[in-house]
Amino acid sequence: MKEKYYYLRRPTSNGVHRCGVVFLILGDNIGARGISLCNEIDQFSKDDGINKAKGRAVKAIERKESSFEVCRQEAISKLPCSTIAFKSEFNPLFTDFELEILSDKKEKNEIPISPHRTMFRR
């Protein structure tokens, strides 16, 4: 199984604020997405965010169901697309960006960091 994650970021007046982690798992005919969101007043922790998001992705696979519906407007505004409805999602419809992250294409020179930014390999 492939396991990958990426950070959710939001622009603020002080720069960019990390506000969450999305953890993806992809296997043969099975997939999961786990999301950990940080409240505006919380201090973002990479390790805590990754652990929570991974735990939710694993839970979705174990239970074979989605859970923890995202319902607060503040949380919804942080998500990368409007089709994500659960923090623990079983067999989600991965976004194009997530499929790129999960792909094994190493011959490309571009690595997407977010839908709007790209980093180039040297």
- Summarize pLDDT for 79-103 with one digit per residue, the tens: 777 778 899 999 999 989 899 999 8
Q: Rounded to an integer, what distance in angstroms lies between the CA atom of residue 72 and that of residue 51?
A: 22
- Summarize pLDDT for 32-66 with one digit per residue, the tens: 999 998 877 778 888 999 999 999 999 999 999 99
The whole-number pLDDT of residue 48 equals 93
Range with top average pLDDT, 8-12, 50-54, 70-74, 104-108: 50-54
Domain that holds residue 83: 2-120
* Total structural domains within the chain: 1
Q: Rounded to an integer, what distance in angstroms lies between the CA atom of residue 22 and that of residue 79?
A: 9
